[in-house]
Structure 1
Amino acid sequence: MLKPLTVASLLALACSACVASHETGPVAVTLHGQQFTAELATDEAAREHGLMMRTALAANHGMLFVFPDTAPRGFWMKNTLIPLDILYFDAERKLVSAQLDVPPCKVDPCPIYPSTGPARYVLELSAGTVKRLGVRDGDMLAIRGDVGPVD
């Protein structure tokens, strides 16, 4: 017979293993031949927080927002301290629109930067990246890694 403390410890370990199996780390994304490491935002809380309060973003890093559906999207820069390129991709991961060199929000309410078409994926990169790479509408986004559950 197991001691009560041992049973509790085993249950705690089992539960932590279940939680860990649903967590996802950064993924590799490739756009126009350039690979980036992208943090994931796959739930409402992560999508809402995004890159807020960051003072820098490495040139080869970004954030990939994954939505459960394809719809027109709009992003704002509230509490975002760095300028960004915001790229909107459809369900097939084709670039449908981009907002370039979006500045940090300095006034309240912050302006909204919308997609011009329905999007399921949104990639935020350091401002100037799209121009530097020559990215164009219709370019495909490759995602390598597990985006995990999306809600």
Structure 2
Amino acid sequence: MKIKLLLYVFAFIVIGFIFSFSTYLLFSSYSDRVCFDDLCFYVDIAKTQEQKQKGLMGVEELPEDSGMLFVYDESDKYSFWMKNTLIELDMIWIDENYKVVDIQHSAVPCESTPCEVYEPQKPARYILELNGGKSEKYGIEVGDKVEIFY
């Protein structure tokens, strides 16, 4: 009887471990994120010049809790445009101290050239692109602190 009980306990521990490990593996691909307090967005990282040039061009739909984070080695007034972008986007410029320094709300896709260029008021090291309207919907404002995990 004790052996049977020990086998059940051992099996329960092994199953728990397997479940925990598989959950970790499942969600570890979502480790890249940008958080405003408890509100987090899962992001694709654009670090290379090629990734930055492509950005979200051609993307027809962006999941509600997702975005793209552009990462630069140093702060500057990085400008963006919406050429070949199919969805409205919010652009959130974040400085090296992880503070929001500017926001472009609901930038519209560019249908003909020349395209409007969006430039921040202050230098930034990171630019977060989200679905248009998200920053207003969630009350994201200039001066907010941000946590970035990538």
Common topology (TM > 0.5): yes
Pairing 1:127–2:111 present: no
Number of the residue aligned with 2:114: 109
Number of the residue aligned with 1:99: 104
Contact residue 84 and residue 103 of structure 1 kept, 8 A:
yes
Pairing 1:60–2:65 present: yes
Cα 1:85–1:27 shift into 2, 3 Å:
same
Aligned positions of 1:50-89 closer than 5 A: 50-89=55-94
Question: Gaps spanning 5+ residues in structure 1: where?
Answer: 1-23, 146-151
Question: Gaps spanning 5+ residues in structure 2: where?
Answer: 1-28
Q: Point out the structure with max Rg over C-alpha.
A: 2
Higher relative contact order (CA 8 A, sep 6+): 1
| Cα-to-partner distance string for 1:11-58 (whole Å, 9 max, x where unaligned) | xxxxxxxxxxxxx98602102531111000001110110000000001
Percentage of pairs with the same residue: 35
TM-score normalised to structure 1 length: 0.77
Task: Give the alignment's Cα RMSD to 1 decimal.
Answer: 1.5
1 or 2, which has the higher helix percentage?
A: 2
Contact residue 31 and residue 149 of structure 2 kept, 8 A:
no
Aligned residue among 21, 32, 36 for 1:27: 32
Equivalent residues, number: 122
- Per the alignment, in what secondary structure is the counterpart of residue 123 of structure 1? strand
Cα 1:104–1:47 shift into 2, 3 Å:
same
List structure 1 runs of 4+ shifted beyond 2 angstroms.
Answer: none
TM-score normalised to structure 2 length: 0.77
